[in-house]
A and B are shown apart, each in its own frame.
Chain A
Amino acid sequence: MTSLTVRSAGWRRPIAYLGGAVLLLGGLIVLLPEGIGAFPPEWDVGLGPAVNEVQQWWISNRRDLGVYLYFFDPLSDSIDWLLRAFENLLLAIPWYVHAAGVGLAFGRWLGTPGGVAAGAGMLYFVALGLWEQSVQTFSLMTVAVALAVAIGVPVGILAARSDWVFRGLRPVLDSMQTLPAFVYLIPVLLFFGVARVPSLIATVIYALPPVIRLTNLGIRQVPTESLEAGLMFGSTSGQLLRKVQLPQAVPSILAGVNQTIMMALSIVVIAAMIGAGGLGQEVLLALRHQEVGRAVEAGMAIVLMAVMLDRFSHSLVGQGRMGGAARTQGLQYRNWWVAGGALAAMAIAGWTLGWTDYPTALQFSYAAPIDGAVDWARDNLYQLGNLPVGTGPFSDFLTTYGTRPMRLYLSEEAWPVVVLFFGFVAWWASGKKLLLGSVVGTVVIGLLGMWTLTMDTLSQTVVAVLMAIVIGLPLGVAASRRDWLERGMRPVLDTLQTIPSFCFLVPVVILFNVGRIPGIIASVLYAIPPVIRLTNLGIRSVDSEIVEASESFGVTRRQKLWKIQLPLAMPTVLAGINQTVMLVLAMVVIAGLVGGAGLGLEAVKGLARSDTGLGFEAGASIVILAMILDRITQGWAARFQPPSSDRG
């Protein structure tokens, strides 16, 4: 009972407080002496140079360290060997055998049209001369995913069997999923340097959480009665695991593997910065040389690979869920032998006749027309005639009224006020604990010497999130009211969520040139699906009885939306906004590659110049910022849970 009153008090903490705080702090700025501006640069504790020194020492001494000689080096060598062996094997097989094999596999699981499309898709990699890079990316990813599964499934099992392990792991997994991908590169860079194995290690670490999480979840979701039935027949704990728990967890584990694949693919480009090679390298180089056409070609190859892998692993999840009933359909085992034999015969024929390369006459490239289009867009769309219409005026508008004033306010006005404001928002959203955390966090950012850059990134993030909400929320509401709109939007949202974050930069650069605005636009595109999806879901899952009850009182559509549907959907909508904030932050960092400025650019510089110290400082600031924003939005969402939900 007591908890109820506390909760509802917290629940009612009004939004007007925020407005009051803004006014109060605005006044405070006027009262404070002139001299207090941005966080004083002389307070920089100089962590960056220190990190660099450690790295130098490490590099020069690591040959003598036992862990390197007897653990890291052999490990790294064997991973490297595995990677190369796999890559060479794939490269040795003629491309048409691959195309036929992939087509057959897709045909088996997704039906004939899927098979044909997949087989044709394979031609894309070859025809554009991206075969070798594609194979590199694919094998790096396959090995990374295999390692992630090999580590993640046992860890997930452990977590499912021991609450201790689970409680210890959960905060780690939670924070791993809030961190932008590239943060993983920095410590790996520190210990392993630039090469393929470190980028593989970073990929494995980044892609690990979903497997662990969903293995654990799958096992824990096995119904109690099923477990009791297993126990009642005298199963040993090993029998229980093998015969009862794991088989029922399979769909969940496969869903985890699907997510892991997508995450591994999304880090491909970023990992190229520390030597992963492959398609990511191709995109990176093309962007660096401003060859947009080439970047689009390679980017599309990544998207294609992502879509194919997603569809394929998704269909496996579906099969797992359907249980054995569906397993008897499709090709029979005998036919598999025939198919395998035919493929082998094709390969042998290719080798003996020397037909292994893709005929150069059939190669093509659409880079030139794209480059042409880019030039055209740059010349024409930027501003339509003398009218204030076009991408140029639009981005000027955003800069003048959005990012610049906010950036200047945050980074040049008195820093203690900004810290206080942060603390207040944290308290308002969640409570005392977060207030302390966010005050300490922001001061640490200042001490790292990243104050101005962080405020730059923050202003970009806020503008992007607001844009995503302003566009996404109405779309979500509209989709919740019209089934055809929901159906039409689903594939679009699916695609947006499948495309690796990096690929959004390419078209945006075409339209908006380089700078902060293209980064923001790319972030909005990348981060908008959760708001739309979860607003739609939240409104649709409001209990129909409640809606009918409101209708029986004769509400208008507008009243129904504002008084019933939105308030009840709020926790879900806010969960969507939380995801959007995290995605925007991840993207704003990547936008550093196209001149987005702020922490992202700094991190990119750090990676590109092997200035680990700089990367470390920028990375740590991003982590702190991400955690504060995550906790604030989550705390806010939690407060909207109806108070009754934790009773009974």
Chain B
Amino acid sequence: MKGKVLFANRFNETDATAEAWMADSEEHSDSPSGQPILASGVWKVFGKRVADAMAMARDKVDQSEILAKSGCVVAVQDATFEVNWGEIFVVMGLSGSGKSTLIRCLSRLVDATAGRIVINGQDLGEMPELELRELRRHTISMVFQNYGLFPHRRVIDNVAFGLEVRGATREDRYQKAEEMIELVGLDGWATNYPEQLSGGMKQRVGLARALAVDPEILLFDEPFSALDPLIRRDMQDELLGLQERLKCTMVFITHDFSEALKLGDRIAIMRSGAIVQVGTPEEIVAHPADDYVRDFTIDVPRHKVLSAGTVMAPFSPDMVLEGEPVAVSARLEAILPRLLTEGRPVPVVDERGRRCGVLEPAVVSRYLWRQ
């Protein structure tokens, strides 16, 4: 139940965030330091003949052909996006689409071949070793797909690792680690070793370890894909709860579209290294950029994602409408029963109560069952 509530909350906020972002990016178009993460034209090519491979990729040459001709793998091509303060930015794509490489570029675990990544106003590519280390010690943290726990350290020493390498005293780091272990609900497991824990518990340790350094930015590399479906749902809910409290910026990688919809304030969809579409879950479901993206949206329960504002037809003053109006932000889920029983158009009003559109059953059904 808790999950559902959060689910709905997410989407109400989404519109506001998206608008704020639009306004923001217009305002700060000349000073892009407004966002915690800015990536422009990022490329990552594995192999030696980088220039050839990039040229071919620009000409839309197929990945396997590029590999055959130049021996290079273009993992990320020309990725440009921004991540806003406090949002969950999901990068979604199938395996091999370059999403894991992209997230590694954001922390320079992998050096980008071309392009610029700016973290908190600092250019990541030009950052000297020492500053990069400081950035990782204080600003960015990461959670890994297979947990990345240190098998030779107890849970508490795993969680305290980040504090240990930046030189915190034993007392301080254990105190903080205890807090984090409690935060993720693992009280009493502090002195166990990772192999004594279940998958879900291991990932809680991974999460606690990442949170222990009080990061501003959290990177998640498919953190829940190794977990059972039920545990995965718990962890997703927990993550949303944590984000509510901590308000840090998160970049979340997944191959699961429904996970992307559930967690993402905005979603970037990747296909063979390139970002195909960036948008709110609703934008993507309502207006998929191409057939590739549409394929993902087919199984989505649209009435839970789409809102009145997206599917309404324009309002013209000569229309005569009866009945109680619904809000722009209302989910179709809530309106559908009425629409189906009454069988006539329903007016839509904006935040100030002005009529701004109308829900036509025919138009709505086209949105809901469009293939």
Q: Is the pair B107, A232 in contact by a Cβ cutoff of 8 Å?
A: yes
How would residues 230 to 242 of chain A score, 1 for a CB under 8 Å from any chain B CB and 0 otherwise?
A: 1111111001000
A168 to B165, CA, bound (A): 33
Bound complex: CA A37 to CA B213 (Å):
80
Asked if A325 lies at the interface with its beta carbon under 8 angstroms from chain B, I say yes
Interface contact B164-A243, CB-CB below 8 Å: yes
**Could you tell me if A244 and B162 are in contact, using CB atoms closer than 8 angstroms?**
no
The answer, yes or no, to whether A436 is at the interface (CB within 8 Å) is: no
Find out whether the CB atom of A232 lies under 8 angstroms from the CB atom of B109.
yes
Beta-carbon contacts of A53-90 to B below 8 Å, as 1s and 0s?
00000000000000000000000000000000000000
Q: Complex Cα distance A325/B193, Å?
A: 7
B104, B133, B140, B219 pick with most chain A CB within 10 angstroms? B133
How distant is the Cα of A223 from the Cα of B147 in the complex, in angstroms? 11
User: In angstroms, how far is the closest chain A Cβ from the Cβ of B159?
Assistant: 11
Given A234-B137, A324-B154, A325-B193, decide whether A229 and B164 contact each other with a Cβ distance below 8 A: no
Kindly state whether residue A247 has any CB partner on chain B within 8 Å.
yes
Q: A332 to B107: give the CA distance in the assembly, Å.
A: 45
In the complex, whether A29 has a CB less than 8 A from a CB of chain B is no
Q: Is A225 an interface residue (CB 8 A)?
A: yes
For residue A345, give the distance in angstroms from its CB to the closest CB of chain B.
37
Does B47 sit within 8 A of A, measured CB to CB? no
Q: Is there a chain B Cβ closer than 8 Å to A228's Cβ?
A: yes
Q: Which parts of B139-155 form the interface with A (CB within 8 Å)?
A: 140-142, 144-154
What's the least CB distance linking A219 to chain B, in Å?
A: 13
Main SS class of interface, A: helix
Are the C-beta atoms of A234 and B146 separated by less than 8 Å?
Answer: no
Cβ of A501 under 8 Å from chain B: no
The proximity string for B residues 120-144 relative to A, scoring 1 for CB distances below 8 Å and 0 otherwise, is 0000000000000111111011101
5 A-B residue pairs with CB within 8 Å: A225-B147, A235-B165, A236-B133, A323-B152, A323-B195
Q: Mark B154-166, 1 if CB is under 8 A from A, else 0.
A: 1000000110111
> Using Cβ atoms and an 8 Å threshold, which residues of chain B touch A248?
150-152
In the complex, per-residue mask of A555-592: 1 if CB is within 8 Å of any chain B CB, else 0: 00000000000000000000000000000000000000
A229 to B205, CA, bound (A): 12
Could you say which of A225, A229, A324 has the most chain B C-beta atoms within 10 Å of its C-beta? A229
> With contacts A243-B161, A243-B164, A325-B196 known, is A231 near B136, CB below 8 A?
yes
**Contact of A226 with B by CB under 8 A:** yes
Contact partners of A244 in chain B: CB under 8 A: 150
Could you tell me the distance in whole angstroms from the C-beta of A159 to the nearest C-beta in chain B? Answer: 22
A234 in contact with B134 (CB, 8 Å): yes
How far apart sit A576 and B278, CA to CA, in the bound complex (Å)? 56
Cβ-based interface call for A250 (8 A) = yes
A215 to chain B minimum Cβ distance, whole angstroms, is: 16
Q: In angstroms, how far is the closest chain B Cβ from the Cβ of A572? A: 29
Cα separation A228 to B107 with both chains bound (whole Å): 10
Partner-A contacts on B (CB < 8 A): 104, 107, 109, 133-138, 140-142, 144-154, 161-162, 164-166, 193, 195-196, 209, 213, 219
Question: How far, in Å, is B177 (CB) from chain A's closest CB?
Answer: 13
With A223-B146, A225-B148, A324-B154: A231-B137 Cβ-Cβ less than 8 Å? no
Q: Would you call A223 and B148 a contact (CB within 8 A)? A: yes
> In the assembled complex, which residues on chain B have CB atoms less than 8 Å from the CB atom of A233?
136-137, 141, 161-162, 165-166, 209, 213
Nearest CB in chain A: distance from B220 CB, A: 12
Across the two chains, which residue of chain A brings its CB closest to B144? A225
> In the complex, what's the smallest C-beta–C-beta distance from B217 to chain A, in angstroms?
11
Give, as a whole number of angstroms, the nearest-CB distance from A129 to chain B. Answer: 46
B133 touches A324 (CB 8 A): no
B146 touching A225 by the CB < 8 A rule? yes
Interface residues of A (CB under 8 A from B): 223, 225-226, 228-236, 239, 243-244, 247-248, 250, 323-325
A223 to B152, CA, bound (A): 13
Closest residue of chain B to A227 (Cβ to Cβ) is B148
Does A229 lie within 8 Å of B133, measured CB to CB? no
**Distance from A235 Cβ to chain B, minimum over Cβ atoms (Å):** 5
A30–B153 alpha-carbon span in the complex (Å): 73
Task: Collect the chain B residues with CB atoms within 8 Å of residue A228's CB.
Answer: 104, 109, 142, 144, 148
A239 to B140, CA, bound (A): 18
Task: Point out the residues of chain A lying under 8 angstroms from B166, CB to CB.
Answer: 233-234
> Nearest-CB distance from B105 to chain A (Å)?
13
A111 to B227, CA, bound (A): 39
A235, B144: Cα distance in complex, Å: 17
- In the bound assembly, the distance between CA atoms of A594 and B144 in angstroms comes to 61
Question: What is the CA–CA distance of A234 and B145 in the complex, to the nearest angstrom?
Answer: 19
In the complex, the answer to whether B150 meets A226 with C-beta atoms within 8 Å is yes
- Chain A residues with CB under 8 Å of B140's CB are 232
Distance to closest chain A CB from B254 (angstroms): 17
Beta-carbon contact of A229 and B142 below 8 Å? yes
Q: CA A228 – CA B104 in complex, angstroms?
A: 9
Q: In the assembled complex, which residues on chain A have CB atoms less than 8 Å from the CB atom of B162?
A: 233-234
B165:A243 contact, CB within 8 angstroms: yes
Look across to chain B and name the residue whose beta carbon is closest to the beta carbon of A246: B152
How far does the alpha carbon of A233 sit from the alpha carbon of B148 in the complex, in Å?
Answer: 12
CB-defined contacts of B219 to chain A, threshold 8 Å:
232
Give, as a whole number of angstroms, the nearest-CB distance from B185 to chain A.
21
From B107, B140, B161, name the one whose CB has the most chain A CB atoms within 10 angstroms. B161
Docked complex Cα distance between A479 and B166 (Å): 55
With contacts A228-B109, A228-B142, A229-B142 taken as known, whether A239 is within 8 angstroms of B165 at the C-beta atoms is: yes
The 10 closest A-B pairs by CB, nearest first: A234-B137, A225-B148, A229-B148, A233-B162, A234-B136, A247-B152, A234-B133, A232-B142, A225-B144, A235-B165
In contact, A324 and B152 (Cβ under 8 angstroms): yes
- Chain A residues with Cβ below 8 Å from B107 are 232
What residues of B have a CB within 8 angstroms of the CB of A232 in the complex?
Answer: 107, 109, 136, 140-142, 219
When chains A and B are docked, how far (Å) is the Cα of A323 from the Cα of B196?
11
The minimal Cβ–Cβ distance linking B113 to chain A, given in whole angstroms, is: 19
Known contacts: A234-B162, A324-B154. The answer to whether A229 contacts B149 by CB under 8 A is yes
